[in-house]
Amino acid sequence: MSDSLVMVAVRDPEHAEDLMRLACQVSRGTGQELMAVSVAEIGPALPLDADADILDRSAKAALAAAQRAAAAAGVKIGSTLVRARAAGPALVEEAQEHHADLLILGYHGRLGLGEMLLGSCVQYVAAHAPCRVILQIIPATASQARRAAAATAAS
């Protein structure tokens, strides 16, 4: 087992490949272990241990995509799914628990008041992570670009 861990936060399957590619590049030749983490955010109306597979579906799909991307790069990774009320504190806790040396996460740049500078998850992780953080800005899709242009035109 390596003494060093790169943890990769994956939220959706569409971007897991890019994040894993970055993680593989960063850790190549260093002997660092890679671990994908996906947080299933559960609203306050349900207990975190609620028995409903649908709550984990997106997180499981993101982890499966991360596993496929790592396998395509010839890299073995560990993975874990965490249920939490908020992704930021859950990612920080996982990084602490696993003694991560680096945490890689993506940022989508969604519109809205809560996302003015950086998303709340990214802000929390940046302020509280026990390790270095690499933030990969995920390019806007065509539909996101159209919504942004429409919002700008409306103001």
pTM here is 0.82
Averaged pLDDT for residues 38-54: 91
137-140: long-range pairs with CB below 8 Å, 24+: 137/106, 137/107, 137/109, 138/15, 138/18, 138/106, 138/107, 138/108, 138/109, 140/108, 140/109
Residue 111 pLDDT > 70: no
Q: What angle do CA 121, 125, 127 make, to 5 degrees?
A: 120
What are residue 134's phi and psi, to 5 degrees? -110, 130
Structural domain including 39 reads 5-154
Q: For residues 142 and 33, which has the higher predicted lDDT (pLDDT)?
A: 33
Predicted pLDDT of residue 6? 96
* CA-atom Rg of the chain in angstroms: 16
Residue 1 pLDDT > 50: no
Predicted pLDDT of residue 114? 45
pLDDT tens, residue by residue, 112-138: 544 444 568 898 999 999 999 999 987
**CATH number of the domain enclosing 40:** 3.40.50.620
Predicted pLDDT of residue 107? 84
Residue type, 136: Q
* CA dist., res. 152 & res. 97, Å (int): 42
Q: How many domains does the chain have?
A: 1
In the block, residue with structure tokens 């955010």: 41
